Amino acid sequence: MDFKLDEEQFILVNTLRRMGKREGFRDLAAKIDRTGQFPFELMSKYRQAGLLGMTLSPEHGGGGQSALNTILTIEELAKFSPMIAAPVFESSVGAVRVVELFGTEEQKRRILPGVCTGELSVSVCMTEPASGSDLTALSTKAVECPAGYLLNGRKTFITGAGEASHYLVYCRFNATPGFKGIGALLVEKGAPGLSFGKQEEFMGLRGMPSCDVVFEDVLVPVDDVVIKAGGFKNLMTSFDLERCGNAAMCLGIAGGALEEAKSFAMERQAFGRPICEFQAIQFMVADMAMKLDAARLLVYRAAAGAGQGLPSIYEASVAKCFANEMVVAVTNDAMQVLGGYGYSKEFPVERMARDARAWGVAGGTMQMLKITMASMIFGRRFDQRK
């Protein structure tokens, strides 16, 4: 077991830190939150730096990098803001990986190179207004027709919706209830019958495009089916890398908050001394660092275990769940260290606390992940319907 970054990873992390300083990412993060505008201008910079499609195969224009290198990248960039890390997340651990792992050669050729240049992106459409955790109850239907499939349904909380070029839609291909009737197909932006709802107003993650996606008799060619009915397990397994990406966002946000708390505690004076000299502050900061380090080890373990492929379901679930809880606790403590300034929008910590709260719901709730973990611990499935 080696807990050190190798030379390449060390260089990667330092390069990203220099990039953050050079490009003024700390100020950019505040601007994104203030304006609610996604930083699309980063795409060309990231393309040049080889940060798009990091995990995708070189054959399709990707970086062929390990899951761990990608996780380290997401973490470093998310220290400023999850929006600044989002292009790496979406192009390397997002739904595009499902296309790479299970799509046809033609689908890969059509989509992956464009994702690596930042021209294309794929949003995942799973959640429906009446089916979130209870995903296998989803009702979006693909009905066979002479030209392919007619798709009807509504998806909700879809990250990237309206902006993404492609939508990987989880849908029901036949009348078989539960997961057995579910597969996934691709819908291209601009397809007749595809429309978008209004932008979500979330508590945090400002700047992230997110809205409902509506399918009304959208004609999908047979060639755009990525996973046929019965392949639900593949869909969920490939989602475990996305879960590590989610956890890396938590590491980044918490790392950013810890940095802010540390600098503030060394500067801020009370009773004639910097507040870092008070034991109450020291213990709070030490607890923050301890929780962050523990989460980091879990996330790195899951990512290292994935190599160039997918992580174990158990390791990814434990890592995501722990990191989701950790980031809320750490950002909350960071606010406390900053006193009144922690509650002010003049300082980044209140934004980090708002951004922190999303990750334990996005990508599957902590409760659902604990059910997955429990079923592995007990070695039996717990059917939530019975």
Ligand X SMILES: Cc1cc2nc3c(=O)[nH]c(=O)nc-3n(C[C@H](O)[C@H](O)[C@H](O)COP(=O)(O)OP(=O)(O)OC[C@H]3O[C@@H](n4cnc5c(N)ncnc54)[C@H](O)[C@@H]3O)c2cc1C
Pick 16 or 244: Cβ nearer ligand X: 244
Integer CA distances (angstroms), 16 to 12, 261, 339, in order: 6, 21, 30
Pick 115 or 158: Cβ nearer ligand X: 158
Least Cβ distance, residue 351 to ligand X (angstroms): 15
Pick 16 or 96: Cβ nearer ligand X: 96
Question: Residue 342 and residue 365: Cα distance in Å, rounded?
Answer: 27
Question: Residue 377 and residue 292: Cα distance in Å, rounded?
Answer: 25
- Interacting residues of 333 by C-beta distance below 8 A, sequence separation 6+: 261, 284, 285, 287, 288
- Nearest CA to 270 out of 371, 212, 322, 338 is that of 338
Least Cβ distance, residue 129 to ligand X (angstroms): 8
Least Cβ distance, residue 210 to ligand X (angstroms): 6
- Say which residue the tokens 């719901």 belong to: 361
* 8 Å CB contact between 194 and 152: no
Q: How many helices and strands (H and E) does the chain possess? A: 12, 10
Least Cβ distance, residue 353 to ligand X (angstroms): 15
* 8 Å CB contact between 86 and 32: no
Pick 336 or 365: Cβ nearer ligand X: 365
Least Cβ distance, residue 205 to ligand X (angstroms): 6
Pick 249 or 265: Cβ nearer ligand X: 249
Tell me the CA end-to-end span of the chain in Å, nearest whole number. Answer: 42
Pick 284 or 323: Cβ nearer ligand X: 323
User: Site residues (CB under 6 A) for ligand X?
Assistant: 123-127, 132-134, 157-159, 205, 358, 361-362, 364-365, 367-368, 371, 384
Pick 49 or 371: Cβ nearer ligand X: 371
The residue at minimum Cβ distance from ligand X is 132
Q: What is the DSSP string of 209-260?
A: -EEEEEEEEEEE-GGGEEE-TT-HHHHHHHHHHHHHHHHHHHHHHHHHHHHH
Least Cβ distance, residue 322 to ligand X (angstroms): 16
- Interacting residues of 105 by C-beta distance below 8 A, sequence separation 6+: none
Least Cβ distance, residue 173 to ligand X (angstroms): 18
